[in-house]
Every structure is written in C-alpha cells, then in structure tokens.
Amino acid sequence: MLWPRPDDPALRVAERGELRNTSVVKKVEPDTRTRNQVARAILEGGPATAADLALRLSITPAGIRRHLDALLEEGILTSREPYQSAASLESRGRGRPAKVFLMTDLGRETFEHSYDDLALSALKFIANQNSENSVKAFADQRALDIENRGRALVESALGITEKGAALAHFLTDEGFAATVTDSPMGLQLCQNHCPVAHVAAQFPELCESETQALSRLVGTHVQRLATIAHGDGVCTTFIPKLSHNPSQKSSENLSSEKIEIGAHA
C-alpha cells in the first residue's frame, strides 16, 4: 500500500511528510516518492491521461501505469472516460479514448487542508445558535479576506486575459492549485484543489461568496460551472471577455442577445 502502512508508523509519517513537501527524517522509498509526484501532478494540474502524465513527469508508459494502478487501488485516484464531442469522435476514428485520471476525496484528504473538522463544527454551531444569515455573513467575510489579499496583484494586470492569469497565480499561492485557459469567448479558471471542500459541501455559501469575490477581482460577471464540493473533479469558473466598446454593438448582436435571454427566461 502507498499510505498509511499500519505495520510501520514511522514510514507512514514519512510518506505523509513527503506528500506535503515537509522535511522528514526517514528516507522515503523511490517508488513512494514518484507515486506522490504523480498524485500531486493530478492535484495541481487537474484530470489527466496516462500519456499526459508520462510526458509531464518523464516517466515511461509502463512506469506511469504501475503508479496509477497503485493509486487507483488505494482510492487516491479514480478514472473516467473523457468527454468526447462529435467532432473529436469523428477525427479520432475507431478505438476507445484514453481514460482520464482524477483525484478522489480520499486523495485530497492526504494533501493540505485549511479548515476541515474544526471549521465544520464551528459553522454548525453558528447555524444552530443563530441563523443561516450568520453563516452567510461568515462566508462573505472569508471571501472578502481572499479578495483583499489578491486585489493588488489582480488589479495591476491589464486586460481580462492578464487578470485571469494573475488570479490563477494568486489562487495557487492560496492553496487552490489554479490554472487558466484562454479561448475567444473567455477564460476558464480551474481550481484543481479546494482547501475547504468538505466544509463547502455542507455550507454552499462558501462557494457562492467566493464566486462573488472572483467576480469583483476581475471586474466582470463570472459563472461557476462546477465545484469540487458538489462532487465535480475541479472547481471551474467561466470569465467572459467583454467587448471593448459595448455601446457600439450591432443590432444583429442585440437581437441575438434578446433571443438568448428569452430562451433562458
């Protein structure tokens, strides 16, 4: 087993220390160290295929498969079929697509958490003694603290693309292992780790307030598409790109927007 090892408590501590990037006294086995690197690569980079991981970590295909099988057996990782659009299926032709490997809740528990049991107990106490508004006030204050810490870095960036990159950098420093991808329509911000996922699963106010803080930081409305707290692989937020001069939209674009709004009304 990777961890824990009941028959060797010292090694269990060493292995957990290696995973958390802290110094340990006892030497960790090379296989364990590499396996930890594979797990952390998925935690910080999000779901990935075996081929992607082998290339990223310079490990042979046979070696990466061995580590992935061990992590699957331990319950640290799980696998699923990747999303396939009609176009990608046609271009790929026959054959099964490569599986995508992603972190489980058990795997995340092995990494750093900022709150967990103490915070969950405290919020339950607040909710029981006062009201749901008190929990919302706490969530808003936490989000405001995050916003205040990231404001200088994000607001100094010029343009929505640069702000998205700065936001991802800031969130990574905050323990969210964030990445951002650019597209013509907007940015997709992925938080591959959530330090408060277990707490947010019972108190979604944390996610809602955090989303509002992200919106204020980039200066535009954002849409939260997925969250780890709700069982998704990563927290995903869409940040749209704004028109440089919204007042000069064509009548055709305005009509399209009206149709779009009507379709969702």
pLDDT digits (tens, 9 = 90+) for 176-199: 889 999 999 999 999 988 888 888
For the chain, residues with pLDDT lower than 50 are 1-28, 85-89, 91, 114-115, 244-265
| Predicted pLDDT at 214 | 96
Residue 96 has what pLDDT?
A: 61
Question: Both 71 and 140 in a single domain?
Answer: no
Number of domains, the chain: 2
Rounded-to-integer distance, Cα 132 and Cα 202, Å: 12
The verdict on 151 and 95 lying in the same domain is no
pTM: 0.56
User: What pLDDT is recorded for position 83?
Assistant: 58
Peptide bond into 4 cis (omega under 30): yes
Distances (CA, A) of 221 to 104, 129, 180: 30, 34, 17
Phi, psi at 226, each rounded to 5°: -160, 155
Q: Are residues 75 and 180 in the same domain?
A: no
Residues 139 and 230 in one domain: yes
